[in-house]
């Protein structure tokens, strides 16, 4: 059963939000789609009034404020670059009602294993902005314990290229069992990321190296299969997931 926050604040400045978040048992509130559905145990600091919902394209980078909803991001994506790849990933993140509430910051901080949006951001080499820090999304997802730092924005290099994602799911609307996302920048080697093969989405670096060195897609697919560390669950057992990693890698590279 869902719980209620012990306290709710809605600061108007980042400084005030950080002061409140430094209190024990206090967490940021984005769209609340996850937090208010059961995660909350203490106080929440609503980020809505901080003005962190700006989207700017400058110097070849798209900077997306953390409280931008997924729906607003999809609607505001500039033409070209990885827009199509991101729009598809946002669409697959969940139904319309969910996309109008869930924020970019909350989605990243949730670090869900099945998030194709995280996989898309990974292949695009996205990085996160925090009040006193900047980290690669890949590093943020690799840390075992979720960092408690506030995310203020995500920065996406806005480069030209070709993107593709493939998934297997029980139904078209269901969470993917396994998905592979591919981004081929115009002037760099192909990047691949997977969901459903581990605790969180991750880059298939061995498969990427094989392709960068001109190796066959079949070898990259075997590397993707070998990267699977998922123990299996009700959606798909470990063996099925690993084998689908190879199948889907071949599809995105075809
Ligand atoms: C019924 C249900 C269905 C769902 N369906 C889907 C689905 O289809 N697809 C999917 O991907 N996810 C789904 N989720 C999971 C969840 O909705 C997503 O992870 C969502 O994107 C979270 O975004 P939010 O803005 O609502 O975050 P919130 O619920 O507000 O917060 C989620 C977590 O992130 C933290 N947080 C929020 N903003 C920040 C920030 N700026 N910096 C640091 N930490 C922050 C919060 O403290 C909390 O721990 C579902 C959850 C539920 C309960």
Domain of 240: which CATH number?
3.30.390.50
Instruction: Compute, in angstroms, the gap from residue 59 CA to the centroid of ligand 1.
Output: 30
Residue 124 to residue 85: CA distance in whole angstroms: 10
**7 and 82 in one domain?**
yes
Give the separation between CA 122 and CA 233, rounded to whole angstroms: 24
Q: What average pLDDT does this structure show over 206-213?
A: 98
| CATH code where residue 147 lies | 3.30.465.10
| Position 46 in a domain | no
183 and 144 in a common domain: no
Q: Please give the share of the chain, as a percent, with pLDDT higher than 70.
A: 98
For residues 121 and 227, membership in a common domain is answered with no
Q: How far is the CA of 149 from the centre of ligand 1 (A)?
A: 15
DSSP code per residue over the chain:
-----SEEE--SSHHHHHHHHTSTTEEEESS-TTGGGTT--SEEEE-GGG----EEEETTEEEEETT-BHHHHHHHPPSSTTHHHHHHHHHHHS-HHHHTT-BHHHHHHHT-TT-HHHHHHHHTT-EEEETTEEEEHHHHHH-SSPP-PPP-EEEEE---EEEEEEEEESSTTSPEEEEEEEEEETTS--EEEEESSSSS-EE-HHHHHHHHTT--HHHHHHHHHHT----B-SS-BHHHHHHHHHHHHHHHH-
Q: Do 176 and 248 reside in the same domain of the chain?
A: yes
105 lines ligand 1 (CB under 6 A): yes
Task: Name the residue with the closest Cα to ligand 1, atom 47.
Answer: 28
Domain shared by 242 and 123, yes or no: no
For 194, the domain range is 161-253
- What residue has token string 């969180």? 200
Domain end, chosen from 159, 193, 209, is at 159
The CA 107 to ligand 1 mean position distance, Å, reads 5
- Pocket lining: 201 vs ligand 1, CB cutoff 6 Å: no
In this structure, are 103 and 61 located in the same domain?
A: yes
Both 139 and 175 in one domain: the answer is no
Structure tokens at 152: 């203020």
**155 and 232 housed in the same domain:** no
Q: What is the pLDDT of residues 116-165, one digit of tens each?
A: 999 999 999 999 999 989 999 999 999 999 888 999 999 999 999 999 99
Indicate if ligand 1 lies below 6 Å from the C-beta of 150: yes
What average pLDDT score do residues 87-92 get? 95
Instruction: Determine the residue of 14, 30, 170 to mutate for testing ligand 1's pocket, defined as the one with the most ligand atoms within 8 A of the Cβ atom.
Output: 30
Same domain, 153 and 106: yes
The Å distance, Cα 212 to ligand 1 centre, comes to 35
Q: In this model, does residue 1 exceed pLDDT 90?
A: no
**Can you give the pLDDT at residue 115?**
97
pLDDT in the model for residue 38: 78
Task: Point out the domain boundary residue: 105, 124, 159.
Answer: 159
Residues 145 and 191 occupy one common structural domain: no
Verify whether ligand 1 is closer than 6 Å to residue 37 (CB atom).
yes
CA of 33 to the centre of ligand 1 (A): 5
- Shared domain for 166 and 117, answered yes or no, is no
- Number of structural domains (the chain) is 2
In a domain, 1, yes or no: yes
CA of 252 to the centre of ligand 1 (A): 28
């Amino acid at each position: 059963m869902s719980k209620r926050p012990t306290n709710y604040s809605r600061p108007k400045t980042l400084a005030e939000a950080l002061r409140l978040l430094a209190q024990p048992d206090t967490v940021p509130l984005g769209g609340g789609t996850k937090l208010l559905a059961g995660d909350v145990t203490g106080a929440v600091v609503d980020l809505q009034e901080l003005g962190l919902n700006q989207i700017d394209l400058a110097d070849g980078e798209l900077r997306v404020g953390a409280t931008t909803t997924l729906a607003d991001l999809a609607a505001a994506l500039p033409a070209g670059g990885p827009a199509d790849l991101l729009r598809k990933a946002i669409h697959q993140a969940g139904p319309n009602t969910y996309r109008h509430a869930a924020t970019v910051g909350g989605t990243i901080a949730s670090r869900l294993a099945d998030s194709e949006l995280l996989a898309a951001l990974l292949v695009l080499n996205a990085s996160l902005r925090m009040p006193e820090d900047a980290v690669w999304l890949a590093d943020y997802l690799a840390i075992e314990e979720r960092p408690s730092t506030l995310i203020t924005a995500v920065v996406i290099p806005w480069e030209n290229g070709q993107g593709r994602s493939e998934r297997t799911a029980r139904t078209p609307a269901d969470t993917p069992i396994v998905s592979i996302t591919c981004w081929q920048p115009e002037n760099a080697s192909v990047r691949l990321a997977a969901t459903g093969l581990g605790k969180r989405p991750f880059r298939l670096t061995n498969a990427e190296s094989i392709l960068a060195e001109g190796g066959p897609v079949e070898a990259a697919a075997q590397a993707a299969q070998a990267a699977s560390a998922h123990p299996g669950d009700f959606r798909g057992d470990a063996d099925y997931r690993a084998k689908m990693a190879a199948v889907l890698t071949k599809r995105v590279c075809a």
